[in-house]
């Protein structure tokens, strides 16, 4: 991985390739494309491809950069990060290259390896240019609707998210993600624009991006077309290394945790204490942690095991559910917040 961010000022649409693959091949490494706006005294950032298997942001950027666009309201800094991982065959399948750290966990000390140095070079650029906002576009690994994530909630973050989606998760979990450090200088939101394979996700990213770059006043409440549903302080369901996880319609012999195949359908839906999420062995149950921002394990507050089945202990809203056992083990299986009462909000 290259640890330096190349700057490319105002390329002509014809220089950027005819599709997203060609676009990334032309960029060849981490790049910031700068598009001058009407008001050159202000700038905004859009960052994407921190994860190489999340193409919607790059697809949307390429479409905007090469389309019939008008001059944006302010200077736009378009940052495309982990091109090396995205271009590794099979294309768009690596979150990061094998043996490298997750780039979106590198925005905190130490910065002493290549992903860390690249993260630091982006932070330095942000500090130098003082943007008025930063949007970081991702996909979820599972199928599901779009939502925003922020570490802080106020009218500015509400307004930024509403360019893209009507759901916002406000988290006090600190993982070393871009939104955590950039937030010190600039209102920052992560946009999870839905599953990586869903055409609707690419469209949501493009439409949100088009509104974001065109807006003269980002934080005017006037553009907020819909009320935002805000979820506070999710916990993560993490699993011990070495657990055997499967997804199936029936319990599988030898599996520590067997999740129902349609578990992704609970993304942002309500899971009640009667909703069986799957089957779990005693070993599996001991290997489940439900972790809050202080690192406390709240498993028994959120989950229960009965007759070998796994249920929510209370009404939960689940999201970022993954159906990929590798991600479930290395990152987390899902995020959850408690829902008050039984009525969906
Ligand atoms: Zn991501």
In the predicted model, what is the mean pLDDT of the chain? 93
Residue 203's domain is classified under what CATH number? 3.40.630.10
In angstroms, the CA 139 to CA 192 distance is 5
Q: Are 188 and 134 in contact (CB under 8 A)?
A: yes
Partners of 257 in the beta sheet?
A: 245, 280
Distance (angstroms) between ligand 1 centre and the Cα of 299 equals 25
Distance (angstroms) between ligand 1 centre and the Cα of 51 equals 5
SS3 206: helix
Distance (angstroms) between ligand 1 centre and the Cα of 78 equals 17
Mean pLDDT of 33-58: 98
Using one digit for the tens of pLDDT, what is the confidence trace for 241-257? 999 999 999 999 999 99
Distance (angstroms) between ligand 1 centre and the Cα of 251 equals 30
Residue 152 within any structural domain of the chain: yes
Same domain, yes or no: 239 and 143: no
In angstroms, the CA 264 to CA 142 distance is 6
In angstroms, the CA 338 to CA 345 distance is 11
Distance (angstroms) between ligand 1 centre and the Cα of 54 equals 6
Residue 217 within any structural domain of the chain: yes
Give residue 222's pLDDT: 65
Using one digit for the tens of pLDDT, what is the confidence trace for 257-296? 999 999 999 998 889 999 999 999 999 999 999 999 889 9
Same domain, yes or no: 47 and 146: yes
Q: How many domains does the chain have?
A: 2
Q: Which of 231, 257, 288 is the last residue of a domain?
A: 231
Distance (angstroms) between ligand 1 centre and the Cα of 196 equals 10
Distance (angstroms) between ligand 1 centre and the Cα of 139 equals 6
Q: Model confidence at 174, in pLDDT bands (50, 70, 90)?
A: confident
Q: What is the DSSP letter of 282?
A: H
Residue 343 within any structural domain of the chain: no
Closest CA to 196 of 331, 323, 88, 80: 323
Q: Which of 198, 231, 264 is the last residue of a domain?
A: 231
Distance (angstroms) between ligand 1 centre and the Cα of 33 equals 20
In angstroms, the CA 209 to CA 306 distance is 46
Q: Which of 211, 231, 251 is the last residue of a domain?
A: 231
Whether the pTM exceeds 0.85: the reply is yes
Distance (angstroms) between ligand 1 centre and the Cα of 193 equals 10
Q: Model confidence at 224, in pLDDT bands (50, 70, 90)?
A: low
Domain extent for 10 = 6-231
Which residue shows structure tokens 């969906």? 344
Distance (angstroms) between ligand 1 centre and the Cα of 261 equals 22
Distance (angstroms) between ligand 1 centre and the Cα of 202 equals 14
Instruction: Please check the confidence at residue 175 and state whether its pLDDT lies above 90.
Output: no
Residue 1 within any structural domain of the chain: no
In angstroms, the CA 328 to CA 334 distance is 8
Same domain, yes or no: 21 and 135: yes
Instruction: Please check the confidence at residue 344 and state whether its pLDDT lies above 50.
Output: no
Instruction: Please check the confidence at residue 18 and state whether its pLDDT lies above 50.
Output: yes
Give residue 339's pLDDT: 85
């Amino acid at each position: 991985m290259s640890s330096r961010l190349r700057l490319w000022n105002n390329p002509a649409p014809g220089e950027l390739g005819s599709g997203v693959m060609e676009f990334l091949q032309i960029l060849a490494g981490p790049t910031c494309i700068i598009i001058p706006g009407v008001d050159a005294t202000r700038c905004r950032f859009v960052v994407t491809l921190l994860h190489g298997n999340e193409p919607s942001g790059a697809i949307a950027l390429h479409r905007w950069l090469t389309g019939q666009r008008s001059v944006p309201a302010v200077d736009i800094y378009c940052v495309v990060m982990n091109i090396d991982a995205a271009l590794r065959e099979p294309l768009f399948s690596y979150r990061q290259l094998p043996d490298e750290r997750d780039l979106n966990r590198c925005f905190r000390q130490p910065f002493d390896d290549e992903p860390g140095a690249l993260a630091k070079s982006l932070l330095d650029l942000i500090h130098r240019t003082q943007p008025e906002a930063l949007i970081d576009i991702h996909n979820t690994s599972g199928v599901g609707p779009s939502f925003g994530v922020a570490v802080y909630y106020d009218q500015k973050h509400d307004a930024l998210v509403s360019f893209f989606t009507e759901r916002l998760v406000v988290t006090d979990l600190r993982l070393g993600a871009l939104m955590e450090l950039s937030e010190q200088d600039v209102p920052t939101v992560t946009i999870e624009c839905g599953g990586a394979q869903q055409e609707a996700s690419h469209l949501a990213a493009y439409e949100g991006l088009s509104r974001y770059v065109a807006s003269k006043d980002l934080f005017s409440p006037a553009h907020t077309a819909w009320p935002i549903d805000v979820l506070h302080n999710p916990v993560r369901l993490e699993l011990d290394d070495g657990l055997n996880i499967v997804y199936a319609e029936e319990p599988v012999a030898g599996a520590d945790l067997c999740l129902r195949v349609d578990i992704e359908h609970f993304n942002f839906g309500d899971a009640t204490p009667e909703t069986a999420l799957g089957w779990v062995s005693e070993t599996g149950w001991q290997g489940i942690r439900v972790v809050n921002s202080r690192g406390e394990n709240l498993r028994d507050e959120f989950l229960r095991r009965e007759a070998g089945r796994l249920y929510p202990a209370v009404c939960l809203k689940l999201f970022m559910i993954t159906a990929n056992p590798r991600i479930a083990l290395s990152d987390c299986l899902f995020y959850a917040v408690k829902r008050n009462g039984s009525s969906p909000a």
